[in-house]
Amino acid sequence: MEGATIGMRLLLVDHGCCDPPHSRVFRCRDWLLSERIEVLACGPASVSALAAPTPGLHGIHLRDIAAANRTFARAVRDGNPQAFLDTSPTIPAPLLGLVRETARQAIAEAVDGFDPAVILVLHAGIFADLAVETGVPVAIHVGPADLPAARQDERVHALVAAALVSAEVVMAADAATERLLKAEWLDAAATNVPVAGVDESGGPALAAAVRLAARWRGGGGGGRSPLR
């Protein structure tokens, strides 16, 4: 939005490949910019860590690490967030730990360098709790297949559950996901979970959730924010 005043900074963490220029995270960045939110994207990059950095992206460089597991390497390379979420619970514990430590460092570096007011995590996956660890207010957008994927593995289930109850705001992609979150994953006080897609029409709702997370800092807890 040319000439618009930027109101806040947001770190946008995705579980899908964030290679430019056509990755979803860059489209989402444009939608949020139209809502006067400056965005730095952070997520899996299929290119080498030695490649020239992409403006607006702090990559989580997993190509070399993922090479140890053919299925996971394909999920990173192909860029589909659902493939990444489905595959994460199946990889051996040492590899999962290495992936998460790489992501932890990348997210921390992005926070230190960009100083965001809020982190918005797309998908309830293995990066969500790492965003919470930073101490920055967090909003998590939960996709339709995220929770079934997390249930595949006890380790991942625990990580996702902890992130959801610790985030300032939890959003759902659709009504069925909203019902599942309220019934099985969130605190009993989670009376209202915003529903919006990750698309251009959902941009205003995403922006509203991000701003609410910033206002509700310290109130804590997966839907315990006063979304009424």
Q: Which of 208, 118, 228, 109 is nearest to 168 (CA)?
A: 118
Per-residue pLDDT of the chain (228 residues; tens, 9 = 90+): 444 446 799 999 999 888 766 678 888 888 999 999 999 999 988 665 545 566 788 989 898 888 889 999 888 887 788 999 999 999 999 999 999 999 999 999 999 999 999 999 999 999 999 999 999 999 999 999 999 999 999 999 999 999 999 999 999 999 999 999 999 999 766 667 889 988 888 889 999 999 999 987 644 444 443 332
The verdict on domain 8-215 having CATH code 3.40.50.620 is no
Q: What are the structural domain ranges in the chain?
A: 8-215
Range 127-164 burial, b when 16+ CB lie within 10 A, else e: bbbbbbebebbbbbbbbeebbebbeebebbbebbbebb
CA 145 to chain CA mean position, Å: 14
Give the Cα separation of 206 and 199 in Å (integer). 9
pTM for this model (two decimals)? 0.88
Give the Cα separation of 186 and 170 in Å (integer). 9
- Write the CB contacts of 151 (distance below 8 Å, at least 6 apart in sequence): 157
